[in-house]
Chain A
Amino acid sequence: MADRDQSEIGGEPLLRFRDDQPHDEPAVTLDAFLADQTPEPSGATAVRLEAGDDARALLPHLDRLALIEVSFPTFRDGRGYSAARILREAGYSGELRAAGDVLVDQLPLMRRCGFDSFAPEAEIDAATLRRSLSRYDYRYQRGADPIAPVWKLRGG
């Protein structure tokens, strides 16, 4: 996993935890993406999920997608965490981006749900983020990341 890579897309700051280049094709809506599947798809490879969209609708198409952007309209709306888990559990390995009202204290949880790129509305303080991501040495439960839960470590 690459170190945090700070770049920009369309003037917005972007935090990435991937080795590949940021995907710069504009994301289409879920409805537009699904409508385009028949008879001859135009080949969109980036989709934006709104908080209420059903991530499962994308499961048949994951191998075609390079970027899925999940919207967080407010930091209190946690539906995107489940969307991320569902996509990763189904084997999606492309870029998974949390966009919108994404706060520094949420990034560790989002990372655990499988997000590997972030387009926060407000700037995130680099030092706070560094502390935040390195603070916990252990996790109680399995997430979408490869970290072994403590019950696994206890088992030896």
Chain B
Amino acid sequence: MYRYDHYDQSIVDARVDEFRDQVTRRLSGQLTEDQFKPIRLMNGLYLQLHAYMLRVAIPYGTLDSRQMRMLGSIARDHDRGYGHFTTRQNLQFNWIKLEETPDILAKLATVEMHAIQTSGNCIRNISSDQFAGAAADEVADPRPWAELIRQWSTFHPEFSYLPRKFKIAVIAADEDRAAMRLHDIGIQLVERDGLLGARIYVGGGMGRTPMIAPLIRDFVAADDLMSYLEAALRVYNRYGRRDNIYKARIKILVHEIGADAYRAQVEEEFAAVKQLGLDPPAAELARITAMFAAPPFDPAAPAEIDRTDPDFALWLDQNVRAHKAPGYSIVTISLKPVGGIPGDATADQIDLVADLAERHSFDELRVTHAQNLVLPHVRTSDLHAIWQQLADAGLAEPNLDLATDIIACPGLDYCSLANARSIPLAQKLSERLAPVQHNLGELKMKISGCINACGHHHAGHIGILGVDKKGTENYQLSFGGSGAEDVSLAKITGPGFDEDGVVDAVERATDTYRTLREPGERFLDTYRRVGMQPFKEAIYG
């Protein structure tokens, strides 16, 4: 994985110093809250319902055991013993004190971590495929490209006061495990004439006005990518709407002027900026790529596995995926125990996962946008031992992509933007559906506590949006979304429900699916085939 050199370290250290200075100025009154807010947000610090919240960047969701242990240590020393993994592959601490933030950032900097641009109207943490470097279906590891973009976008002088936030995802496989086309810019690495390049989608997103990003350019060569992104962002910075915060994302610009007009403007800008020498030489991508070289897999690693323990076999079938190297496997560690809080991990769990990564996964870990963790490079013969340790720590729920593997934002229990709680609903749904989840098969359930859609409800096979209905929590149910390669936006079923009502409605919908499904059909497939009507009748009839 990527390692800082003294340039990277110097930049991150300077950022700690800068933020310390900014916090001092805020505490002494030199900065008003109005002036400080964008500054703290650009460093991932929010003021939430109960305290400050610090969002730590985990670039493209990759980290090592040393970094993971630091997160555990900060959870113990500065928070309340836990952290929350997010749909942006980051980690949030919920109980942070402003006055301690500079020291926390200084600790993070010692392990090559930071909170730079994890919020604010700037280019956010670059997200990617959690199976990068381990999946058999990728044309290349997308992370070196993501790292190149991370560096280009860090403290970008022109793009730090964009109309609105800006999210970029990079993937390199046809199977989309990162909701790529629901990003402001989605990049898929593709091969053309033996050359690797970027296919660029622009203008996707969730939020209040969900949109699927249209294809804007079929192929951008590696040595043109920064110029092209510079052009794509400049058009947005100049012409994105600033009169209405709800229409300020790039998706609205692309939608209003049309993909063709946007493409033409970007091409014109690209032709101009391409002359400026903004693109790093091939040697820089090569330097970064070398750090993502495959670990030294043992070619003699045995592939056989003893499946006699049925609980272990169930976990194998559900949470373990094939690795590109024979004798190795990709393990997803579920942070979705039945009835638990999606994405939360205690400091002890964080430490255990760090230990497992160090001992069994070439010291590498991943965070998924579905709020789970991944050990990407595990010897298949180690799986049973790992499973036992995970089970002892409550981390072996065999539910990857099943109905209880629910994405949920923090909701009104923590978030100052939320209109309704997400977590208690996730817990009730999880308990209700746990007995039938293996029968139901793949079912992606996603819950957001407000229209901002941090819980990706638009992309849920079943999506739920919490709203405020005259001071009480109300939940809108929707079906048919997908954040994968078969990307689609979910449609609302009808009138909303209270918390228990929506749990009942989901159960009636899954019962309907079980009645109507044809062999091999997922909930999503059945819904797409039969449409909303039979589900509507079951729910409202």
Which residues of chain A have a CB within 8 Å of any CB of chain B? 75-79, 81-82, 85, 89, 103, 105-106, 108-110, 112-113, 125, 128, 131-132, 135-144, 149-155
- B39 contacts which chain A residues (CB < 8 A)? 105
Q: Decide if B157 touches A113 in the complex (CB within 8 Å).
A: yes
- A76 contacts which chain B residues (CB < 8 A)? 38, 121, 161
- B17 contacts which chain A residues (CB < 8 A)? 135
A141 to B153, CA, bound (A): 8
Q: Does B5 contact A (CB under 8 A)?
A: yes
Nearest A-chain residue to B9, judged by Cβ: A138
Q: Decide if A79 touches B7 in the complex (CB within 8 Å).
A: no
The 5 tightest CB contacts between A and B, nearest first, are: A78-B161, A112-B157, A151-B280, A150-B7, A151-B284
Q: Decide if A154 touches B287 in the complex (CB within 8 Å).
A: yes
Give the shortest distance, in Å, between A38 (CB) and chain B (any CB): 26
Give the shortest distance, in Å, between A82 (CB) and chain B (any CB): 5
Q: Decide if B160 touches A78 in the complex (CB within 8 Å).
A: yes
- B163 contacts which chain A residues (CB < 8 A)? 78
Give the shortest distance, in Å, between A45 (CB) and chain B (any CB): 25
Which residues of chain B have a CB within 8 Å of any CB of chain A? 5, 7-8, 10-11, 14, 17-18, 21-22, 25, 30, 35, 38-39, 121, 151-152, 154-163, 226, 234, 237-238, 242, 272-273, 276-278, 280-281, 283-284, 287
Indicate which residue in B121, B151, B283 contacts A141 across the interface (CB closer than 8 Å).
Answer: B151
Give 5 A-B pairs besides A81-B160, A138-B7 with Cβ atoms closer than 8 angstroms. Answer: A81-B157, A89-B273, A109-B160, A141-B152, A151-B284
Nearest B-chain residue to A138, judged by Cβ: B7
Indicate which residue in B18, B155, B159 contacts A132 across the interface (CB closer than 8 Å).
Answer: B18
A85 to B233, CA, bound (A): 13
Give the shortest distance, in Å, between A102 (CB) and chain B (any CB): 11
- A128 contacts which chain B residues (CB < 8 A)? 21, 25, 30
Given A89-B273, A125-B30, A136-B11: A75 touches B158 (CB 8 Å cut-off): no
Q: Decide if A79 touches B151 in the complex (CB within 8 Å).
A: no
A150 to B151, CA, bound (A): 9
Indicate which residue in A89, A105, A153 contacts B7 across the interface (CB closer than 8 Å).
Answer: A153
Give the shortest distance, in Å, between A149 (CB) and chain B (any CB): 7
Q: Decide if A142 touches B158 in the complex (CB within 8 Å).
A: no
Q: Decide if A89 touches B272 in the complex (CB within 8 Å).
A: yes
Nearest A-chain residue to B157, judged by Cβ: A112
Q: Decide if B226 touches A141 in the complex (CB within 8 Å).
A: yes
Nearest A-chain residue to B276, judged by Cβ: A89
Q: Decide if B154 touches A140 in the complex (CB within 8 Å).
A: yes
Indicate which residue in B18, B30, B272 contacts A135 across the interface (CB closer than 8 Å).
Answer: B18
- A82 contacts which chain B residues (CB < 8 A)? 158, 234, 237-238
- A144 contacts which chain B residues (CB < 8 A)? 157
| Total residue contacts A-B, CB cutoff 8 A | 103
9 of the cross-chain contacts (CB-CB < 8 Å) are A78-B159, A82-B234, A105-B39, A132-B18, A136-B155, A137-B10, A141-B154, A143-B158, A150-B8
- B287 contacts which chain A residues (CB < 8 A)? 154
Nearest A-chain residue to B285, judged by Cβ: A151
A79 to B161, CA, bound (A): 8
- A85 contacts which chain B residues (CB < 8 A)? 158, 234
Indicate which residue in A78, A110, A113, A137 contacts B14 across the interface (CB closer than 8 Å).
Answer: A137
Give the shortest distance, in Å, between A30 (CB) and chain B (any CB): 15
- A154 contacts which chain B residues (CB < 8 A)? 5, 7, 284, 287
A89 to B276, CA, bound (A): 8
- A139 contacts which chain B residues (CB < 8 A)? 155
Give the shortest distance, in Å, between B244 (CB) and chain A (any CB): 13
- B35 contacts which chain A residues (CB < 8 A)? 75, 103
Given A81-B161, A82-B158, A142-B278: A135 touches B14 (CB 8 Å cut-off): yes
Give the shortest distance, in Å, between A88 (CB) and chain B (any CB): 10
Nearest A-chain residue to B148, judged by Cβ: A151
Q: Decide if A142 touches B276 in the complex (CB within 8 Å).
A: yes
- B5 contacts which chain A residues (CB < 8 A)? 154
Give the shortest distance, in Å, between A152 (CB) and chain B (any CB): 8
A68 to B493, CA, bound (A): 55
Give the shortest distance, in Å, between B316 (CB) and chain A (any CB): 43
- B152 contacts which chain A residues (CB < 8 A)? 140-141
Give the shortest distance, in Å, between A80 (CB) and chain B (any CB): 9
Nearest A-chain residue to B38, judged by Cβ: A76
Indicate which residue in A79, A103, A155 contacts B284 across the interface (CB closer than 8 Å).
Answer: A155
Give the shortest distance, in Å, between A35 (CB) and chain B (any CB): 23
Point out which of A77, A89, A149 has the most chain B C-beta atoms below 10 A from its C-beta.
A149
Q: Decide if B237 touches A105 in the complex (CB within 8 Å).
A: no
A110 to B226, CA, bound (A): 20
A113 to B152, CA, bound (A): 15
- A108 contacts which chain B residues (CB < 8 A)? 157
Indicate which residue in A81, A137, A155 contacts B158 across the interface (CB closer than 8 Å).
Answer: A81
- A141 contacts which chain B residues (CB < 8 A)? 151-152, 154, 156-157, 226, 278
Indicate which residue in A77, A89, A135 contacts B161 across the interface (CB closer than 8 Å).
Answer: A77
Nearest B-chain residue to A145, judged by Cβ: B157
- A125 contacts which chain B residues (CB < 8 A)? 30
A39 to B287, CA, bound (A): 57
Q: Decide if B277 touches A142 in the complex (CB within 8 Å).
A: yes
Give the shortest distance, in Å, between B336 (CB) and chain A (any CB): 36
A77 to B160, CA, bound (A): 10
Point out which of B5, B226, B280 has the most chain A C-beta atoms below 10 A from its C-beta.
B280
- A77 contacts which chain B residues (CB < 8 A)? 161, 242
Given A78-B237, A103-B35: A140 touches B276 (CB 8 Å cut-off): no
- B160 contacts which chain A residues (CB < 8 A)? 78, 81, 109
A76 to B152, CA, bound (A): 21
Point out which of B151, B161, B237, B281 has the most chain A C-beta atoms below 10 A from its C-beta.
B161
A140 to B162, CA, bound (A): 19
Q: Decide if A140 touches B151 in the complex (CB within 8 Å).
A: yes
Q: Decide if A138 touches B10 in the complex (CB within 8 Å).
A: yes
- A137 contacts which chain B residues (CB < 8 A)? 10, 14
Point out which of A138, A140, A144 has the most chain B C-beta atoms below 10 A from its C-beta.
A140
